[in-house]
Amino acid sequence: DIQMTQSPSTLSASVGDRVTITCRASQSISRLAWYQQKPGKAPKLLIYKASSLESGVPSRFSGSGSGTEFTLTISSLQPDDFATYYCQQYNSFPYTFGQGTKLEI
């Protein structure tokens, strides 16, 4: 199985900050997604295929990376962005998620 490791686990930031979350895969992959989840809600797809922005997602979100190292960047944090973020590989079954990064004010 492909293991996904996110860092940091918790990130404290302020409105307007630029933040980056890292996700590392235990082997090379090309299919990676990023999700945002708020308490009591279902996850929301932000990025797929490592760098493709899902329709309707603000352009301040971007994804990059290849092979085993990937990043999610939020260029200027907005109040609505404080949530937990997960990476997920869907290169092969079983799909696996990172452990999550909680973005706090």
Partner 1 sequence: EVQLVESGGALVQPGGSLRLSCAASGFTFSSYWISWVRQAPGKGLEWVANIKEDGSDKYYVDSVKGRFTISRDNAKNSLYLQMNSLRAEDTAVYYCARQYNWNDGLDYWGQGTLVTVSS
Q: Measured between alpha carbons, how far is 66 from 23 in angstroms, rounded to an integer?
A: 11
Residue 76 or 92: which CB sits closer to partner 1?
A: 92
> What are the residues binding partner 1 (CB under 8 A)?
1, 31, 33, 35, 37, 41-45, 47-49, 54, 86, 88, 90, 93-100
β 10-12/52-53 pair status: unpaired
Residue 25 or 88: which CB sits closer to partner 1?
A: 88
- Report in angstroms how near the CB of residue 14 gets to partner 1 at its nearest: 25
Residue 33 or 77: which CB sits closer to partner 1?
A: 33
- Report in angstroms how near the CB of residue 99 gets to partner 1 at its nearest: 5
- Report in angstroms how near the CB of residue 82 gets to partner 1 at its nearest: 17
* Strand ranges for the chain from DSSP E: 4-7, 10-12, 19-29, 32-37, 44-48, 52-53, 61-74, 84-89, 96-97, 101-104
What does DSSP assign to residue 16? T
Residue 58 or 76: which CB sits closer to partner 1?
A: 58
